[in-house]
Every structure is written in C-alpha cells, then in structure tokens.
Amino acid sequence: MPAKTTFASITGETTDNFPSDPLLTPGNEVNDPNSIDVVSARDQNGATIDVGLADGTASVTRRTTVAARLKAVYGNNINNVDAFVGMLAEPHLGSSDLGELQTAIWARQFTALRDGDRFFYGNDQGLSTIKSLYGIDYKTTLGKIIANNTDTPAADVHANVFLVADDDLPAATCQVTYQITTEWPGNFQVNMTIANLTTTPINGWSLQYRFANGQTITSNWDSNRTQSGANITLTNASTNPTIPAGGSLDGVGFNGTQDNFTNSKPPNFTVNGHRCALG
C-alpha cells in the first residue's frame, strides 16, 4: 500500500493540528488532560446524545484529534509512528473492526495459512477431480444436489432444504430482517427490522425467536428483553409501541456473546404469536 504522508491520512480525520482552545495548554496540549475530553456523543443510530450518557455503543468526538496527538508524540515525523499504534488509529473499513493495514496483514496471513496447509479442504486434489467431473464444489448446496438427481426442478427446491419455503406456508403477517452488523472475539451485534404486512397497525408488539447455538444477549436497545435458555422475547419499548399498517420498525438491536465458531441466524420469528417471513 502507498505510504502515509500525514498523520491525518492515518486516522482519516480532517486535521492534525491542535485547536485554539482556552482549556488547552498552548505548546503542551498533548499532556493536558483536557485534550481527550469528550465534547459530543452519538448513539448507534447517529443521533446526538448527552455526553454523560455515552457508553460503549456510542461514538464520541474528543476535544483534539487522534492525528494531532500522534503528531505531538512522534515529533512531527510520520515515519516514526509505530506500525502497531498506527494501524490501531486507522478508521475501520465498512462494518469491520479493522483498518486497512490490519485488514491487509490478516488477509495475507490467513492466505498463507490456507495455501500452506495440505489438509485445507480447498487443497484436496480429490475435490478438484469431483468438480471437474461433476461440476460440484463446496459452493454446491444440498438443494442443488437434490434437484440434479431427482425430477424436482431447482426452482421448486427451497434454498435451505431443512426449512419449509415461505410460499408453502400460510401467508405471513410480518417480516423480520435479522442482520449481523459486526462481530468481534466472542461477541456480535445484530440489527433487526420488523415489517407489518397487514392493513391494520400493530399496537404493542412481542417478537419471539430461538437461538440455535447457545448465544446470549448481553445488552439491547429499542426493546425490552427476556431470555430463557435459547428462547428470546423482545417487547416494544415505550418509544416504539406501534408498527403502522404496511410500515416497518428499524433499529431493534442487541449485542450478544457467541463461541466464535457457530452463530446461526434464527430460522423462525413470530410477532404477537403470528409467523413472520424472513427478510
């Protein structure tokens, strides 16, 4: 990757200079405790919140930029920045928890581990033979195999053969979109959208589903939660009791724990006891 030429280019911020601020000590801003004061905060939806209410789910703006503090610590010489410090200061890419340098490092490392492992399934010559003879590789679903070996057209085989297709079930009155927005070691975050597919408002809602892999919700927002083993019930908060007819409610989310290996999405949801389609 091309070398960074400014401290701001590392952090993605607009400036690497300290502001003119009466609360900062001129010429020694980096050692002034006020330099890291939180001056504004936003919740997970980007809305401004009281600084005193900021927690781990909020993003904050401090009195001085990270770039300015790096510049002061490393003596105005960007070439002195430690790689580890620099890559932790980079803005995250998309929904990732990594910046571009860490992403490049991990991609190269895991590519080397994959390519150097003769037991990695992609390096199994027998699989290459099967693909060349039958056109089947690890991307082939069981549904495709059934369609290829029976008289059932592929269009009539559900993508997940272990679940009944929505079209074969009674009409759903709601739809739930369950999106894992980010994951980090042992944890994950989810955003859900609940759509009302009927012509009447839902006044007071209760969303129920079941985790498949022992996940546990640790915090949630825009709902009240109850968890009993794998069974989850989320009920409306005081601010969102109604889902209008034909409308939807976005931003119902939570943080949860998982085992880093399996984190399946729940296959079935109900709202007030009625089946929901999957978004």
| E strand or H helix that includes residue 194 | strand 187-196
Q: Is the pLDDT of residue 44 over 70?
A: no
CB distance 63 to 21 below 8 Å:
yes
- Between the alpha carbon of residue 102 and those of residues 61, 110, 150, 189, 212, the distances in Å are 23, 12, 47, 21, 32
Where helices occur in the chain by DSSP H, the ranges are 7-11, 66-73, 83-89, 100-115, 125-134, 142-149
- By CB neighbour count within 10 A (0-12 exposed, 13-18 middle, 19+ buried), where does 273 fall? exposed
Q: Which range among 62-76, 153-167, 252-266 has the greatest average pLDDT?
A: 62-76
* Region 171-278: CATH code: 2.60.40.290
Q: Is the pLDDT of residue 52 over 80?
A: no
Q: What is the pLDDT of residues 232-244, one digit of tens each?
A: 999 999 999 999 9
Confidence of residue 161 (pLDDT cuts 50, 70, 90): confident
Q: Is the pLDDT of residue 159 over 80?
A: no
- In this predicted structure, what is the pLDDT of residue 201? 95
Q: Among residues of the chain, what percentage have pLDDT more than 90?
A: 60
Mean predicted lDDT score pLDDT of the chain: 89
- Tokens describing residue 109: 């490392």
- In this predicted structure, what is the pLDDT of residue 54? 55
- Tokens describing residue 57: 């789910």
Q: What is the pLDDT of residues 104-129, one digit of tens each?
A: 999 999 999 988 988 887 778 888 88
Contacts of residue 183, defined as CB under 8 A and 6 or more positions apart, other chains included, come to: 189, 258, 263
- In this predicted structure, what is the pLDDT of residue 53? 63
Q: What is the pLDDT of residues 64-99, one digit of tens each?
A: 999 999 999 999 899 999 999 999 999 988 768 899
Which of 53-57, 59-63, 189-193 has the lowest average pLDDT? 53-57
Domain ranges of the chain: 7-91, 171-278
SS3 category, 151:
coil
- In this predicted structure, what is the pLDDT of residue 270? 93
Q: Rounded to whole angstroms, how far apart are CA atoms 242 and 265? A: 25
- The C-alpha R_g of the chain, in whole angstroms, comes to 25
Average the pLDDT over 220-247 and give the result.
Answer: 95
- In this predicted structure, what is the pLDDT of residue 56? 52
More confident residue, 124 or 199: 199
Q: Among residues of the chain, what percentage have pLDDT more than 70?
A: 95
- In this predicted structure, what is the pLDDT of residue 33? 95
DSSP state of 54: -
Residue 87, phi-psi category: left (phi > 0), alpha (psi -120 to 50), beta (remainder): alpha
Q: Is the pLDDT of residue 57 over 60?
A: no
DSSP 223-276: EEEEEETTEEEEEE-TT--EE-TT-EEEEEEEEEE--SS--PPPS-EEETTEEE
- In this predicted structure, what is the pLDDT of residue 64? 97
- In this predicted structure, what is the pLDDT of residue 206? 96
